[in-house]
Amino acid sequence: MHLTIKIILLEDITMSKWKFDSKLAPNFVDHARKHIPDYDKVIDISIELCEDLYGQYSNIIDVGCASGETLKRLNKRGFTNIYGLDNSQAMIDVCPKDIATYFLSDTYPVGLATMDVIICNWTLHFIKNKVAYLQSIKENLHNKGTFILSEKTTLDPLMIEKYHEFKIQKGVSKEEIKEKEKQLLDVMYIDDIEWYLSTLKEVGFSKVNVINAHYCFNTFICRL
């Protein structure tokens, strides 16, 4: 008897979803630099705003702190009242424990002191209910505080093409780009810049400005 075995590759079904896991965590910064335009620049802008507006004794939390790169730089600049929040245990595990207080949670910590600065760079677009999360951020920000938000904000074909060119120049292959895009389906929730500008004001931020833009990404500075 001759048996013919037919193998069907169900790529879209078997493809695992994107995760911030123990494989990514130790090399997160290198990965981010290949996938996020102006990664270092935006972190430096965020820290400069903290220095210029509030000083080293201000309360600052990094929402979606990942492996702690922003917190490390804040610490080097003399900031001491700093906090990190992430929902990935693997990321929290690789953060330097002696420079900040960390929270492992999907939601904003309850009972924490109001913050002078809340930083949320490249994180909110992974949260399905953005409006509720923005409301919790607004409620926990000092009335003279600042919210710094960076997001992927467009699926415009031209910007996506330029973004892919950026990643290829950084050494990411076309196959890797395609695979990550599939993994991010139903994980990253993208809204356009107009949605952010209107929603941030609806939530309660009276002043919203774009302070950096590169391809698909925008950084907002928001004041109450």
- CATH number for 197: 3.40.50.150
**pLDDT > 50? residue 1:** no
- Which has more confidence, 2 or 53? 53
The pLDDT tens digits of the residues spanning 125-163 come to 999 999 999 999 999 999 999 999 999 998 899 999 999
- 188 within 8 A of 125, measured Cβ to Cβ: yes
Residue 97 lies in a domain: yes
Picking from 122, 123, 130, the residue whose alpha carbon sits closest to that of residue 41 is 122
Per-residue pLDDT at 17: 86
The whole-angstrom separation of Cα 33 and Cα 26 is: 14
The mean predicted confidence, pLDDT, of the chain is 92
CB-based burial label for 36 (10 Å; 0-12, 13-18, 19+): buried
Q: What is the mean pLDDT of residues 16-39?
A: 94
- Secondary structure of residue 13 in the 3-state scheme: helix
Domain with 46 in it: 16-223
- What is the domain count for the chain? 1
In a domain, 11, yes or no: no
What share of residues in the chain are helix, strand, coil (percent, to 5)? 40, 20, 40
Closest CA to 66 of 116, 144, 128, 126: 126
For 86-132, the pLDDT digits (tens) are 999 999 999 999 999 999 999 999 889 999 999 999 999 999 999 99
The answer as to whether 125 is a domain residue is yes
Question: What is the mean predicted confidence (pLDDT) over 167-171?
Answer: 97
Inside any domain, residue 6: no
- Residue 175 inside a domain? The answer is yes
Residues in the chain: 224
Which of 36, 29, 31 has the alpha carbon at shortest distance from 216?
36
Confidence at residue 13, expressed as pLDDT on a 0 to 100 scale: 41
pLDDT (tens digit per residue) in 170-198: 999 999 999 999 999 989 999 999 999 99
